[in-house]
Amino acid sequence: MNINVTKSSLPPYEEYAEEIKSLWDSHWLTNMGEKHQRLEAALKDYLGAEQVTLFTNGHLALETVIAAMELTGEVITTPFTFVSTTNAITRNGLKPVFCDIDPESYTMDPAKIEALITPEASAIIPVHVYGTLCDTDAIEAIAAKHGLKVIYDAAHAFGVKKNGVSAANLGDASMFSFHATKVFNTVEGGAVICRDPAIKERMDYIKNFGVHGPERIVYPGGNAKMSEFHAAMGLCNLRHLDEWLAGRKAVVERYRKNLSGVPGLTILREQEGVESNYAYFPVVFDGAKYTRDEAAERLAAQGINARKYFFPLTNHNEAYGFRGEETPVALHISERVLTLPLYPNLAMEDVDRICEIITE
Ligand SMILES: *Cc1c(COP(=O)(O)O)cnc(C)c1O
C-alpha cells in the first residue's frame, strides 16, 4: 500500500450519518443554519476566541479578511508558504512585498521586516508554517510602531497553543484552513478569528453577497459560505481532535528519535512555551548522504510520497517573476526541504522504514 504525505482524518461513518440526519427534517442545507451556528460556537469555545466566522475554504477566508480590513498598497509577507497566501494579497489588488525567513523556524524573520516598510505598506501577513509559530511578539511590536495590521495565515496552526493560550488570538486576525489535508478538517472549509466585531460583521456580509435582509445590499460581497454538511463534519471531527493530536505527536516523536543527530539532516526545533499540533514533519537535507531530490526519489520508488513543501517559493514562479534570489534563506530551504508522511495512525514500522530509506 502506498503511503502519502497525509491521510485525511474522518469520524466514524455512523457518527457523521447521525449528525446530518436532522438536515432531512429541516431541509436547511446551507446559509448559516443550525450546524453552522453550532460549529462557530464550538470553535469559539475550543479556541477561546472572541469572534469566529466560517468560510467555504481557507483561501476565501484570507481573501475576505483582507478585503474586510480595507488594506491598501503593499503587504509584507513571506514567500515560504502555499501560494494561496500570496494570491490572496494579489487578488485584493495589493502588492506583496517578500520578506526573508528565519533559518531555524522557517517563519518570517522580524529583523528583515523594517527595511521593507514603505509609506505604501498597510499590513503584515506572516505564516505559521508546519505548526511552528512566528516570532509574534517581535512582528506585532514592529506592526504597532508603524501602524500596520497583522493577519496570520494560520492554516497550519489549528490547535497550537502559546503559553497555554490558543494561537488563534494573536494579531488582528488569523485564518485557518479546514481543508481535507489539514489537522482539523471540514472536507473543505476555513475560518477567520478576529478581535474587532466590526470586521467580523463585514466578513459575514462579504461571504454572503453583502446581503442584509431580503431587500438590502450593504457591501459588494461574493459567496464564501460554509454548508451545513461541511459544518456537520467539523462538529464530528472536533470531538476526535485531541485523540488525533496525540497520534500525531507519537509519530513526530518517533521521527525525532530516528533522525536527530543524523549528519546533514536538520529537523524542526521544538519551541519553548509552544504546544505544537504536529501538523507536518519537514526535514532539510544539506550535506546529507542523499540530496532532497534523491531522498524523495528513493521514497517514491517504495510507494512513499513525501512532498517538497514549500517548493517552489511563491515568489519563484512565473506568476511572480522568479524573484527567489531576493529571499536567499527561503530559497535555500525550499530547495532542500522534504515533508515526510505524517498522520495520526501512521504505523511506527512505516516511520522507521521511511527513516531508513532516507539515511541508508
Ligand atoms: C491550505 C493552505 C491555505 C489554503 O487553504 P484552503 O482551505 O485549501 O483554501 C492557505 N495557506 C496555507 C499555508 C495553507 O497550507
Atom in ligand 1 nearest the alpha carbon of residue 182? 1
Looking at residue 346, the DSSP 8-state letter turns out to be -
At 1, the pLDDT band (50, 70, 90 cuts) reads confident
Q: Is the CB of 58 under 6 A from ligand 1?
A: yes
Strand partners, 217: 211
- Laid out side by side, the sheet with 274-275 consists of 165-166, 161-162, 274-275
Q: Tell me: pLDDT of 311 over 90.
A: yes
Q: How far does Cα 59 stand from its chain's mean position?
A: 10
At 39, the pLDDT band (50, 70, 90 cuts) reads very high
In the prediction, which pLDDT does 256 show? Answer: 97
Q: How far does Cα 48 stand from its chain's mean position?
A: 18
**Could you tell me if 224 and 59 are in contact, meaning their C-beta atoms sit under 8 angstroms apart?**
no
Single-letter amino acid, residue 304:
I
Q: Is the CB of 84 under 6 A from ligand 1?
A: yes
What's 70-136 look like in SS3?
CCCCEEEECCCCCHHHHHHHHCCCCEEEECCECCCCCCECHHHCHHHCCCCEEEEECECCCCCCCCH
- Before 310, cis peptide (omega within 30)? yes
Among protein residues, the one with the nearest Cα to ligand 1's atom 10 is 84
Chain segment 229-287, per-residue pLDDT in tens: 999 999 999 999 999 999 999 999 999 999 999 999 999 999 999 999 999 999 999 99
What's the predicted TM-score (pTM) here?
A: 0.97
Report how far ligand 1's centroid is from the alpha carbon of 78 (Å).
14
In the prediction, which pLDDT does 118 show? Answer: 98
Q: Is the CB of 153 under 6 A from ligand 1?
A: yes
Atom in ligand 1 nearest the alpha carbon of residue 58? 7
Distance CA 144, CA 196 (A): 16
Report how far ligand 1's centroid is from the alpha carbon of 189 (Å).
10
Report how far ligand 1's centroid is from the alpha carbon of 215 (Å).
34
Chain segment 86-144, per-residue pLDDT in tens: 999 999 999 999 999 999 999 999 999 999 999 999 999 999 999 999 999 999 999 99
Among 128, 153, 175, residue to substitute to test ligand 1 (most atoms within 8 Å of Cβ): 153
Angle formed by the axes of helices 292-301 and 348-359, nearest 10°? 130
Output the average pLDDT for the chain.
97
In the prediction, which pLDDT does 47 show? Answer: 96
Pairing mode, strands 121-125 and 74-77: parallel
In the prediction, which pLDDT does 154 show? Answer: 98
Cβ within 8 Å of residue 336, ≥6 positions away: 284, 285, 286, 291, 292
Single-letter amino acid, residue 263:
P
Q: Is the CB of 64 under 6 A from ligand 1?
A: no
Among protein residues, the one with the nearest Cα to ligand 1's atom 6 is 58
Chain segment 193-238, per-residue pLDDT in tens: 999 999 999 999 999 999 998 899 999 999 999 999 999 999 999 9
**Could you tell me if 55 and 179 are in contact, meaning their C-beta atoms sit under 8 angstroms apart?**
no
Report how far ligand 1's centroid is from the alpha carbon of 22 (Å).
30
Q: State the cell numbers at 21.
A: 440526519
Strand partners, 54: 191
Pairing mode, strands 149-153 and 121-125: parallel
In the prediction, which pLDDT does 233 show? Answer: 98
Determine which helix (DSSP H) or strand (DSSP E) holds 351, and give its type and residue range: helix 348-359
Report how far ligand 1's centroid is from the alpha carbon of 316 (Å).
18
In the prediction, which pLDDT does 279 show? Answer: 97
Report how far ligand 1's centroid is from the alpha carbon of 184 (Å).
12
